[in-house]
Amino acid sequence: PFFIPVFGRKCLNSKCDKMKVDVRVSVRSFEEANAAFEERSGVVGVMVGREILNRPWYWGDVDRRLYGVPNPGISRREILANYSAYAVREMAKSPKLGHGTILKPIQNLFVGDRGARMYRR
């Protein structure tokens, strides 16, 4: 199953049994996500979907921008080092796991940067 991230604002009412989530495939930026909160009364979350896979580094700042939580400041090189260790462990557990499958989540980590195409190869 495909995991669809949902980003939202904390519900002020402790009895949020009927939360509204705006399912807009076109949400591609923080500005569009914030606009969804402003435009629709009672909306506490928006689904971003595949945009996370297209620009993961951009969306890595979501906690700071939406919740005011400090960004841990981890670099992309640190992400790659951590992910490499994870990939080695997972491939040891499942020898049939293909390289393409294990590398797909980090494929677009450098999208928009110089040399990104070479990185993907």
Q: Are strands 20-22 and 6-8 parallel, antiparallel or unpaired?
A: unpaired
Say how far apart CA 107 and CA 103 lie, in whole Å: 6
Summarised one tens digit per residue, pLDDT across range 52-75 is 888 888 888 888 887 788 888 889
Say how far apart CA 95 and CA 28 lie, in whole Å: 36
Summarised one tens digit per residue, pLDDT across range 30-49 is 888 778 777 776 666 777 77
What's the pTM value of the predicted model, to 2 decimals?
A: 0.64
Q: Name the pLDDT band for 1 (thresholds 50, 70, 90).
A: very low
Q: Name the pLDDT band for 10 (thresholds 50, 70, 90).
A: low
59 close to 48: Cβ distance less than 8 angstroms: yes
pLDDT of residue 78: 93
Distances (CA, A) of 121 to 8, 51, 81, 104, 114: 35, 21, 18, 12, 14
